[in-house]
A and B are shown apart, each in its own frame.
Chain A
Amino acid sequence: MTIAPGEAQPVDPDSQLLSAVGHGDEAAFRCLYRRHTPRLHMLVLRVLGGHASDTDDVVQETWIRAVAAAGGFRGESSFGTWLNGIGVRVAWETGRKRRPTQFLSERDEPATDPPDTGERLDLDEALRRLPDQYRTVVVLHDVEGYSHDEIARLLGIAVGTSRSHLSRARQALRATLRSYERMVK
Chain B
Amino acid sequence: MMTTPDDELTPEEAAAFATLPRAIRGGDELAEERTVRALRAAGLLVPSTRRRVPPGLAIGLGVAAALVIFVAGAVVGRGLARRAVPPVPLSPAAQVQEAGTAYVAALIRLSHAANHERSPGLEAGTATLRAAATSLARIDSNDPLANRIRTSLDAAANPADPSQLSRDPSIVWF
Contact = CB atoms under 8 A, between A and B. Distances in A.
Interface of A: 21, 23-27, 29-30, 33-34, 37-42, 45, 55-56, 59-60, 63-64, 67-68, 123-124, 142-144, 160, 163-164, 166-167, 170-171
Contacts, number: 103
Nearest to A41: B26
A41 B24 contact: yes
B36 A142 contact: no
B24 A160 contact: no
Contact of B36 (A29, A38, A143, A144): A29
A69 to B, nearest CB: 10
Interface in B17-53: 17, 20-27, 31-32, 34-36, 38-40, 42, 44-48, 51-53
Nearest to B37: A60
Contact of A41 (B3, B27, B48): B27
Contacts of A27: 48
A164 B42 CA distance: 40
Contacts of B48: 25-27
B9 interface: yes
11 contacts: A24-B44, A26-B36, A26-B45, A29-B39, A38-B23, A40-B26, A41-B25, A45-B26, A59-B31, A123-B17, A164-B1
Given A23-B52, A24-B52, A59 B4 contact: no
B90 interface: no
B26 A55 contact: yes
Interface of B: 1-4, 6-7, 9, 13-14, 16-17, 20-27, 31-32, 34-36, 38-40, 42, 44-48, 51-54
B34 A64 contact: no
A21 B51 CA distance: 11
Contact of B45 (A24, A143, A171): A24
A153 B151 CA distance: 119
Nearest to A44: B26
B4 A167 contact: yes
With a 10 A CB-CB cut-off, give which of B4, B16, B17, B46 has the most chain A CB atoms. Answer: B17
A42 B27 CA distance: 11
Contacts of A124: 20
A166 B48 CA distance: 45
B95 to A, nearest CB: 68
Contacts of A55: 26
Nearest to B1: A164
Contact of B21 (A42, A144, A170): A42
